[in-house]
Amino acid sequence: MSVDKGIFRRRQRQLEVFDYHTGEPSVTPWKSDEQIDRYVPTHCCYCGVQCGMYLKVARGKVVGVEPREDFPLNHGMLCPKGSTAYQTVNHPDRLTYPLMRRHGKGSPLERASWDEVLDTIATRFRALQAEYGKDTVAIYSGSSMTNEKCYLMGKFARVAVGTRHTDYNGRLCMSSATGANERSLGIDRAANPISDMLHADCIFVIGANVGECFPIVTSYLWQARDKGCKLIVADPARHRSHVQRMFFFLCALAQIPRCSMVCCM
């Protein structure tokens, strides 16, 4: 997780951010009896929603988490994943040092220094590329990283490693949505912010389990519904998002071969 640079501008009114606020009453702040030394502003590390949060630090260790009420997306809310994100920091099963198999795949994992494993990776990369070409190495990034880190991963792949093969985990779940957005809206990504859902007259959710995959975004669906927005859900299975539906279509993919599992919100 990375520190949010917005902390340095907290006392300034950021019109491009706060214009998205709905004017709804703020949620009740989280409270704890534990004495906290400092709060570190960051983002949730799980899904691509990237909710703002504070890590609670006491005695030099992360002991808890609190949502950020000033963050323009989650407005002081966290889902169960975000609420427990801090528990991995000091977990006894967390790997805090490199392991490597020094004598091939069949050898046991042994503790190694960072210098040793990084030198081994660089040596193997160079050897493979010298024998099979630059594109024999691929770089895999992640959607839960900050924009800056994703940018660096792309530069590392294309400039440092010299490969054209770079991807991230979002292709598994978002490639269909990307194709749908490009064909319908002419852009290969979200055309507007999530907060625009609050101003929609109709929201069409296609093959997306918003209630379980993006619980915080579900609150925007509910707020839009309360303002009179019609919610249409098309999906081959029933899930939590349908509890708040106004219309629901059960798509039989076997009968509708061209029914794509995409989310266009």
pLDDT at 23: 44
**42 & 115 share domain:** no
**125 & 190 share domain:** no
Does residue 77 fall inside a structural domain? yes
**22 & 76 share domain:** yes
| Domain end residue (candidates: 56, 88, 120) | 88
Does residue 112 fall inside a structural domain? yes
pLDDT at 19: 33
142 pairs with which residues across the strands?
none
Q: Token digits for 137? A: 């190495």
Burial of 36 (0-12, 13-18, 19+ CB in 10 A): middle
Q: Is the dihedral of CA 70, 72, 77, 79 positive or negative?
A: negative
Q: How far apart are CA 244 and CA 92, in angstroms?
A: 40
Does residue 257 fall inside a structural domain? no
Q: Token digits for 89? A: 């920091």
**38 & 77 share domain:** yes
pLDDT digits (tens, 9 = 90+) for 124-168: 999 999 999 999 999 998 877 778 888 999 999 999 999 999 988
Instruction: Give residue 210's domain range.
Output: 171-250
Angle at 190 between CA 79 and CA 145, to 5 degrees: 55
Secondary element (H or E) of residue 137:
none
**65 & 116 share domain:** no
202 pairs with which residues across the strands?
230
**79 & 12 share domain:** yes
**215 & 162 share domain:** no
224 close to 139: Cβ distance less than 8 angstroms: no
CA 43 vs CA 15, 139, 162, 224: distances in Å: 21, 24, 31, 25
**29 & 72 share domain:** yes
Does residue 244 fall inside a structural domain? yes
Please tell me the total count of domains within the chain.
Answer: 4
248 close to 233: Cβ distance less than 8 angstroms: yes
Q: pTM for the full model?
A: 0.63
Q: Mean pLDDT of residues grouped by 10 in the chain (265 residues)?
A: 41 38 48 80 84 90 88 88 86 90 91 95 95 95 82 94 89 78 83 87 83 85 88 72 48 36 37
Q: How far apart are CA 184 and CA 58, in angstroms?
A: 50
pLDDT at 90: 83
Q: Token digits for 197? A: 């859902």
Does residue 228 fall inside a structural domain? yes
| Domain end residue (candidates: 168, 184, 215) | 168
120-131 in b/e burial notation, b at 16+ Cβ within 10 A? eeeeebeeebee
Give the DSSP letter of residue 229.
-
How far from the centroid of its chain's Cα atoms is residue 167's Cα?
A: 15
CA 136 vs CA 132, 133, 139, 154, 166: distances in Å: 6, 6, 10, 16, 11
pLDDT at 204: 84
Q: What CATH number has the domain bearing residue 180?
A: 3.40.228.10
How much helix, strand and coil, in percent to the nearest 5, is found in the chain?
35, 15, 45
Does residue 231 fall inside a structural domain? yes
**76 & 14 share domain:** yes
**123 & 176 share domain:** no
The CB density around residue 50, as the number of other CB atoms within 10 Å, is 23
Q: Token digits for 150? A: 């994703």
55 close to 86: Cβ distance less than 8 angstroms: yes
